[in-house]
Structure 1
Amino acid sequence: MDAHIIIFLLVLLVPLSSATSVVDFCVADFNFPVGPAGYSCRNPANLTVDDFVFSGLGVPGNTSNIFNSSAFLAIDVTFPALNGLGLSMARLDLDVGGTIPVHSHRVSEVIIVIEGTIIAGFIGSDNTAYYKTLNRGDIMIFPQTLLHFQVNIGDSPALAFVALNSASPGFQTTTFALAANDLPTDIIQKITLLDAGQVRKLKTIFGGTN
């Protein structure tokens, strides 16, 4: 290969290989729409250290709901400094008997239990269930896209934190996906084997119609 062509290719590849380090950070600018790569960046000249600090995970969440649990998220839309950095966090509060219902997202997650006793698990694509009782200090990984859950089986409230490898993980909870929209009841019956009364009950709880 001609030496000039080799030099040209090397010059071309250098900026491509270092594309992720063009900027140190990209605090989200919500004045512009989000794209596949995230939000546009705010002007660094207008940022302060406070833009890189988030205090929301220090406050217990409201667990007065049907699942007796709360998931408070530090993601790009709540903590703009995470934009483009490929990570996020959440605080999970579970009352006695509380659950984080079966859900999935497009990225992997790791959980660490701070207080209490939790059964956590996920379901593999071959329908194998992987679940275990976790105590204080235990961690567990949930691979990307797989359905997973947490249940407080202790006699006191439980607290855990999770980290995800995306600033915009994308959450889909199975119950909400079925019952919080206008998907017809008879269709839900066919795809879940629930009876009409059960489907209507779920729709009433989660605001679905039809």
Structure 2
Amino acid sequence: MSPIWTILFATISLLCATTMASDPDPVQDFCIPDPRYGSLKTAHLTILPCKNSSEATTDDFVFSGVKRAGNFSADTGLAAIPVNPTNFPGLNTLGMSFIRADLKVGGINPPHFHPRATEIAYVVEGSVYSGFVDSTSRVFARTVEQGEVMVYPRGLVHFQMNVGDKPATIFGSFNSQNPGSQKIPAAIFGSGIKEELLEKAFGLSPKQIGAMRRRFDPKKVK
């Protein structure tokens, strides 16, 4: 390959890698979606027209919904409040989002992953057993204490459990406004994968598969 083609190929590869690394770069200071053109909860926010910048107010850039814990799950002891453009329009097109997670004593955030974002989590209070599993099935985990931070690389399975004697609070930040979240138990047993395959993959009996499916029925799981 000639030097000029080598340089061209390297340049294109770098541009592609940069483009795919995160959300697209914004082309204006901000874009507050105009609710007159669709629901913020159902529309793809990046295709909603922006409000005229002269109509934006300071309130568009302030969110007060994480002052206290959300509603706890009876099954996991987890309360999570996602903060993204659907409830905080000022984040739209800025390539980031946020979450507050609270864990009761012994509570867990089950194994899950975010297909479109790396997450960095700050333990506000408590002691949290936290970690992720890489593509070779190696686990990186330890107890993260108040004031410490842990990062979970994009697309890798990660988890959290309150191992302290008091409630724990975690603030997480993502480098995407729509990181997505795929919970492993629900994805496997609540998605309708053929029962025979699950039996062979996990060595479980039909009765056990049925019990797991009832537990992770998407109509019941919140």
1:96, 1:156 within 8 Å by CA — same for their partners in 2?
yes
The C-alpha deviation readout for 1:150-179, integer Å capped at 9, x for no partner, is 010111111110011011001100011122
Q: Aligned-residue CA RMSD in angstroms?
A: 2.1
| Separation of aligned partners in 2, 1:25 and 1:122 | 34
Mapped pair 1:207 → 2:207: no
Mapped pair 1:193 → 2:206: no
| Separation of aligned partners in 2, 1:42 and 1:203 | 44
Larger Rg: 1
Residue segments in structure 2 that go unaligned for 5+ positions in a row: 1-23
**TM-score after normalising by structure 1:** 0.82
Structure 1 letter corresponding to 2:185: T
Counterpart position of 1:93: 102
Structure 2 letter corresponding to 1:24: D
Residue segments in structure 1 that go unaligned for 5+ positions in a row: 1-18
Question: After superposition, where does 1:1-210 map in structure 2 within 5 Å?
Answer: 20=25, 22-29=27-34, 31-32=37-38, 33-34=43-44, 39-105=48-114, 106-207=116-217
Structure 2 letter corresponding to 1:27: I
Moved over 6 A (4+): none
Q: SS of the residue aligned with 1:187? A: helix
| Separation of aligned partners in 2, 1:45 and 1:196 | 61
Residues 152 and 64 of structure 1: CA distance in aligned 2, closer, same or farther (over 3 Å): same
1:40 Cα shift?
A: 3.7
The C-alpha deviation readout for 1:1-55, integer Å capped at 9, x for no partner, is xxxxxxxxxxxxxxxxxx94631001234534417x5644233233221111111
Residues 130 and 48 of structure 1: CA distance in aligned 2, closer, same or farther (over 3 Å): same
Percent of residue pairs bearing the same amino acid type: 35
1:99 Cα shift?
A: 0.5
Q: SS of the residue aligned with 2:188? A: helix
Q: SS of the residue aligned with 1:181? A: coil
The C-alpha deviation readout for 1:88-116, integer Å capped at 9, x for no partner, is 11001000110001000121011111111
Aligned residues between the structures: 190
Structure 2 letter corresponding to 1:179: F
Residues 40 and 196 of structure 1: CA distance in aligned 2, closer, same or farther (over 3 Å): farther
Structure 2 letter corresponding to 1:196: P
Counterpart position of 1:7: none
**TM-score after normalising by structure 2:** 0.78
2:79, 2:102 within 8 Å by CA — same for their partners in 1?
yes
